[in-house]
Structure 1
């Protein structure tokens, strides 16, 4: 089954595309999905949390592929980007949402062509815009996510996520596979129980849940800097620890110093909140660190770009086969060389 069919079959209406690095093939993946949607008569909408579709990356100054939209599609983008696009559009609605490129506007594509897209930057506005695209007729909304705005792929914002990875991450294929597998592991951590979710939702703060169901809330400003104080409150009565917000390597190290943590679960909001060193993470996991989430993320595919803008590239077949061995539970799609499997 092809990727676009997988998405439709699972009733995913809003799907984010997240690049694990700049130039990992995110735009290529988006263009591939646009073409696949047209071939399967699926009406889609697109938007972005950053700015995409420009010919040259504004940060790295490398050439970028354009976003090519087809007649009948929908897009949500900032006003100024429409002036830089050659696709012909019909304005359906103004949203009142401001960006550095102007107000976000909902448009329908009347004549295919290249387009630049720059949409909302926060989850609340993104959910609204995705809802409006669906209102006008989009069966699936694809959100081009910026590398520094991973929250758009959280369950609070989208139904599912596609990860774009590639040779740009490292000249060493093994390192690219390791980094990608780590990201997939973090995003797909299993969920905690409904009872724990209920307890956490009442507090909505970093807290320690005891075996008797009572809760201790540490007096900390943020979890990032409060690791040691949290750790001091964990004893034999603790059943699990919920950490609200970002979870860093330093925070995990502070918690790991407490011997009682070995027998309990650390609960996080979702995988987008993890900002951990791969080596430290793997070592702690091997020693028994248990991490679960309030909400798991549906990673429907990992897309591969075997070519780096720096001029080197991987053997496409070997890259795909190796990635499939290390991440067997997720669909792997080489959007540059091989496309999607039937």
Structure 2
């Protein structure tokens, strides 16, 4: 099911979980299994760590990542020792992590693996390029809510979002939170090429900047927007048109801007992509009603959603009801329950 969303369309995708135990590893294993049956060579890596037997924080058991012979993986020296799959080392890199350098290898015999990838997006992009050169037709990046940078469109062509009962005992709240994530991933993009070029430079240089109607740029001397909302608000002028924030956008920053100036209604706040926004759905709706406008430099191509109706803490949802409620709110995106192999879509898989 999931492979049909990807093959012949994308070379690099990310699977991003809304939280721990949201079913992301189940989705990853489902995709690995489909690729094996279709004889499509794949590569697997992660921003962060995944595939361990127990979550190192919650100590809850987790599904293992099971890979087949021929799969190319990028992981660390220490984590490669913990899996049961036999790995042939193809390339050793200089990319350091707390668990050793990143190593790229090929699976020689089927088994479980633990993966931990590079620490930066630039390193991840290079790792992906190497994996493609070594024969991976599709590279899959594993991610999570607290490391959603794996969905950044600068390195991932498309994204699959995993959500599940673990978010809340209230099914409606899970649906609301998932719908909010979908909306963030699909925020409107800046289209004017001249403006995009200016903003790309701001993002690359990690500069918070105000751009006026004549495309003049005013750089703010702030290392981050977090805690700087009042300073930013005080710098917004009548002719300001865009506020460029290269890092994270959080609730307090927007609230301080609103408190400081009424001019916020006449500007677009621009972030790199929807993974940079850390505002819950109720506050986001409230800000929109007040006139806050948020756009992105890079929209994210969300091609599918997987749902997990089971929580590791002991409760669950009815799988069909959960799937139907999710699809009632989220249109035109295929939604799949990999565990039950259920699927509801408004577009062909």
TM-score w.r.t. length of structure 2: 0.92
The CA deviation at 1:303 is 0.9
Matched, 1:285 2:283: no
Matched residues in 2 for 1:219 and 1:73: separation?
Answer: 47
Deviations, residues 235-268 of structure 1 (Å, cap 9, x unaligned): 3312222222111101111222322222332111
Where does 1:158-173 land on structure 2 (aligned, <5 Å)?
Answer: 158-173=156-171
Judge conservation of contact 1:104–1:119 (CA < 8 Å) in 2. yes
Match of 2:92 in 1: 94
The CA deviation at 1:57 is 1.3
Where does 1:15-26 land on structure 2 (aligned, <5 Å)?
Answer: 15-26=13-24
Match of 2:196 in 1: 197
Pick the aligned partner of 2:208 from 206, 209, 214: 206
Matched residues in 1 for 2:122 and 2:78: separation?
Answer: 22
Matched residues in 1 for 2:123 and 2:99: separation?
Answer: 15
Match of 2:12 in 1: 14
Where does 1:28-107 land on structure 2 (aligned, <5 Å)?
Answer: 28-107=26-105
Matched residues in 2 for 1:50 and 1:328: separation?
Answer: 31
5+ residue gaps in structure 1?
none
- Count how many residue pairs are aligned between Structure 1 and Structure 2: 340
Cα RMSD after superposing both structures:
1.7
Moved more, 123-132 or 213-222: 213-222
Moved more, 119-128 or 163-172: 119-128
The CA deviation at 1:166 is 0.3
Judge conservation of contact 2:246–2:271 (CA < 8 Å) in 1. yes
Query: Helix, strand or coil: the match of 1:176?
Result: helix
Deviations, residues 67-109 of structure 1 (Å, cap 9, x unaligned): 1101121111112223222212221111122223322221111
Moved more, 292-301 or 115-124: 115-124
Matched residues in 2 for 1:106 and 1:9: separation?
Answer: 24
Matched residues in 1 for 2:117 and 2:264: separation?
Answer: 42
The CA deviation at 1:187 is 1.6
Match of 1:243 in 2: 245
Pick the aligned partner of 1:296 from 295, 299, 312: 299
Matched, 1:337 2:335: no
Match of 1:311 in 2: 314
Runs of 4+ off more than 6 Å: none
Match of 1:229 in 2: 231
Deviations, residues 141-178 of structure 1 (Å, cap 9, x unaligned): 11111432211211223222211110000000111111
Matched residues in 2 for 1:221 and 1:17: separation?
Answer: 30
Judge conservation of contact 1:3–1:340 (CA < 8 Å) in 2. no
Judge conservation of contact 2:19–2:144 (CA < 8 Å) in 1. no
Matched residues in 1 for 2:241 and 2:79: separation?
Answer: 51
Match of 2:177 in 1: 179
TM-score w.r.t. length of structure 1: 0.94
5+ residue gaps in structure 2?
none
Query: Helix, strand or coil: the match of 2:242?
Result: strand
